[in-house]
Amino acid sequence: MVRAIWNGVAAGHGMTATRSRLRRRELARVVAAATTGYAAGLVPSADVAAKLASRGRVDLRDHGSGNPGGANALEVLGPRWGYAVMAADIAKGAAACRIGRLLGGDVGQHVAGVAAVVGHCYPVTSGFQGGKGVGCSVGQCLATFPAYLPIDIAVAAAAASGSWRQRAFAATTASSVVWVAASILWWRRGWPNAWGGPPTIALPLAAAASSAVIFQRFSVGQRR
């Protein structure tokens, strides 16, 4: 009888230890996804384009709006380089999410997407002076929420055309509100999400987190 009780207690401890190890592994995978996402966001696509286009004579932080992003590259360097920067920013956001999914599953892809936007907006390699994250968030949508992608692309295009300085923040605000609202709707309804995978609560949480980072970056830029 005593031995049976002891075996039961030992089995219970073993199950607890196993669960603990599984949680640590899951956490490690999510941390790896976040680290990889931030590293992807650090890729200085606008800076590289400026150096190639001007042979090192132009720093986008000193020209145009002062923002090292696709819209300012379009204004300062021209359409060829501007659209190349936008494509690169979208690609690094999408790549971060796909790698994050491989590392940490559904949670990993969303964490990596947010981390990529953070890395793009606040790159440690450039004194935390990065772009505004719009293009990178388009890549996040492309990988995790393809159903919303057409709206996000339309807003990114609007933010990059004409007098974008006057319209970009309003357009991005509207897009972010719809992004979060749509992601909540998709999650609650369980609607199909193509290659983004079944929508979970991580979808609206990631949309809200990336939107908050972008809003913060816009507000910092407007105070300068």
| Residue 92: predicted pLDDT | 97
CA distance 129 to 49: 17
Higher pLDDT, 217 or 117: 117
* Percentage of the chain lying above the pLDDT 70 cut: 84
Flag the least confident range among 121-130, 169-178, 185-194, 208-217.
169-178
- The C-alpha atoms of residue 134 and residue 215 are separated, in whole angstroms, by 10
Q: Please give the pLDDT value at position 8.
A: 53
**pLDDT for res 171:** 75
Q: How confident is the model at residue 212 (pLDDT cuts 50, 70, 90)?
A: very high
Give pLDDT, residue 6.
45
- The pLDDT value recorded for residue 155 is 64
Q: Which residue has the higher pLDDT, 64 or 93?
A: 93
Angle between helices 164-189 and 70-77 (to 10 degrees): 150
Task: Indicate if the pLDDT at residue 150 is higher than 90.
Answer: no
CA atoms within a 13 Å half-sphere pointing along the CA-CB vector of 27: 6
**1-32: per-residue pLDDT in tens?**
555 554 554 455 556 767 778 889 999 999 99
In this prediction, residue 189 carries a pLDDT of: 96
Rounded to the nearest 10°, the torsion over CA 185, 167, 130, 128 is -80
The CB-side HSE value for 66 (13 A sphere, CA atoms) comes to 9
| pLDDT of amino acid 170 | 75
Smallest CA-to-CA distance from 168 within 44, 41, 72 is with 72
Contact (CB, 8 A) for 196 and 146: yes
Q: Which residue's entry shows tokens 């075996």?
A: 7
218: confidence class by pLDDT, cuts 50, 70, 90: confident
Q: What is the pLDDT of residues 26-51, one digit of tens each?
A: 999 999 999 999 999 999 999 999 99
**Cα 117 from chain centre:** 4
User: Could you give the CA distance from residue 148 to residue 171 in angstroms, rounded to a whole number?
Assistant: 15
The closest alpha carbon to 99, from 110, 88, 90, 83, belongs to 110
For residue 163, the model assigns a pLDDT of 54
